[in-house]
Amino acid sequence: MSNDGSTTIPQGSTGKRPEAPSFAKANDDIVSPAWKHAAVHKRTGFGTSAPKLKVCFNQVCGYTPQSNTKFTGLNAVSGPTSGRRIFAGSASADEGLTSSDTFTLDLIDKAKENAIVGDNMVRPIRIKGQKKYVMFLHPYQVTALRTNSSSGQWLDIQKAAMAGIDANNSPIYTGALGEYNGVILKTSQDVTQGVNSSSASTAVTTVRRAVLLGAQAACCAYGGDGRGSSDKYRWNEELLDHKRKLEVSAWSIWGCKKTVFNSADFGTVVVSTYAAAAS
C-alpha cells in the first residue's frame, strides 16, 4: 500500500504543502480528516499522478470498472448496495436509462428519503446545529437540472438557495450550486459514469452517478512511517542544481475505502441518470 514520488520546486518558492482541494477541505465530517492529507499529495503528484478526487468518487459512486488501485485508494471498489440506489424514470439498472431519464429535482427528495428511512439511516453532517447532506452532480446532470423549465424545478432551488445561511462562515457552501430540502448541491466532473449491471467492469458512458453523502461516507487509514512516530507521511527536502532548485518528496502507507455497515452503504446514496453533453 505504499506510494512515493517527488516534485521539483524552483528556488524562491515556499516549499509548503499546498491546501487540500475543496471537497476534503470543506467536508471533514464526510470523509475522515485523514483524507485531507491524502488529497493534498494525490493532487500535487506527491505520491501518484491520480487526478484530484478521482480516488474518492470512484469509491463513493461504486465505480467498479476502475480496477487500477492507484485511482481507488489502493482498495478494490464495491458497487452500491441494493438499498442505496435511486434511478431516474422507471429504470432498474444504469444501462436501462434513456435520454428522457435526466436529472430532476424529485430525485433529490428520493435520495434524502432513502437516507433518513429504515434501520441503517445515513447520518447527516451538522452545520451550526442544522442537519445537512451534500450531493455531488456531474456537470451534465447540472445542465439538465438548470434547463428544466417545468414548474417546481431549478427555480425553486434558486429561490431557497442559502436562505438564512451565512455562507462565509460555512466553508462547505463554497462553490455550492444551492440547497434544496436540506441537501447542499455541488458539482464535480469526477462524478463517475454508470456501470452495466451484467458486467461490473463495463461502463455505461451515457449515465452519471450523482451521489448523496452523509457523515463518514468514506475513510482513510494510515500505516506507520517506519520510524516509530505518529506522522502519516515521511517528508524530505533536498537542494539541487547548485542549490537553485528544491526537490520535495513524500511517501506514505495508506488506503481509502467507502464505508459499509451491516451490508449497507453507511454514508452514500447513488442516483443514476442519463447524462450527456448539451448539444
Residue 24 lies in a domain: yes
Q: Which residues contact 230 (CB under 8 A, 6 or more apart)?
A: none
Amino acid found at 249: S
85-87 and 268-274 as β-strands: parallel, antiparallel, unpaired? parallel
Nearest one of 71, 279, 38, 36 to 190, comparing CA atoms: 71
- Which domain covers residue 200, as residue numbers? 2-220+256-274
Q: Which residues contact 264 (CB under 8 A, 6 or more apart)?
A: 81, 83, 84, 120
Residue 248 lies in a domain: no
What grid cell was written down for 156? 425553486
Considering the entire predicted model, what is its pTM? 0.77
Quote the pLDDT of residue 15.
39
Quote the pLDDT of residue 31.
53
Quote the pLDDT of residue 35.
35
Residue 79 lies in a domain: yes
Distance between CA atoms of residues 239 and 237, nearest Å: 7
- Count of structural domains, the chain: 1
Amino acid found at 244: R
Residue 242 lies in a domain: no
Torsion (CA) 24, 59, 256, 132 in degrees, nearest 10: 40
Residue 200 lies in a domain: yes
183-187 and 203-213 as β-strands: parallel, antiparallel, unpaired? unpaired
Low-confidence ranges of the chain (pLDDT < 50): 1-28, 32-50
Residue 197 lies in a domain: yes
Question: Are the C-beta atoms of residues 56 and 23 closer than 8 Å to each other?
Answer: yes
Quote the pLDDT of residue 9.
36
Residue 102 lies in a domain: yes
Residue 234 lies in a domain: no
Quote the pLDDT of residue 200.
97
Coil, helix or strand at residue 193? strand
Quote the pLDDT of residue 147.
87
